Amino acid sequence: MTQWLENAAALLVLLASFFLLVGAIGLVRFPDFYMRLHAPTKASTLGVGGVLLASMLVTLAHGRPGVAELLITLFVFVTAPVSANLMGQAALHLKLRSQAPVPRDAVPERR
- Evaluate whether 65 touches 59 at the Cβ level (below 8 Å): yes
Query: Could you list the residue range(s) of the whole structural domain that residue 42 is in?
Result: 3-96
Residues in the chain, total: 111
| Distances from the Cα of 10 to the Cα of 6, 24, 75, 85, 99, angstroms | 6, 21, 23, 32, 39
pLDDT confidence of residue 108: 67
Say if residue 87 is exposed, middle or buried (CB neighbours under 10 Å; 0-12, 13-18, 19+): middle
User: Is 104 among the domain residues?
Assistant: no
C-alpha span between 4 and 10 (Å, rounded): 10
User: Is 102 among the domain residues?
Assistant: no
User: Is 51 among the domain residues?
Assistant: yes
User: Is 108 among the domain residues?
Assistant: no
Can you give the pLDDT of all 111 residues of the chain as single tens digits? 688 888 999 999 999 999 999 989 988 888 888 888 888 888 888 898 899 999 998 988 888 888 888 899 889 888 888 888 999 999 999 988 887 776 767 666 666
DSSP conformation class of 62: T
User: Is 49 among the domain residues?
Assistant: yes
pLDDT confidence of residue 33: 87
Q: Count the domains in the chain.
A: 1
User: Is 76 among the domain residues?
Assistant: yes
User: Is 105 among the domain residues?
Assistant: no
User: Is 103 among the domain residues?
Assistant: no
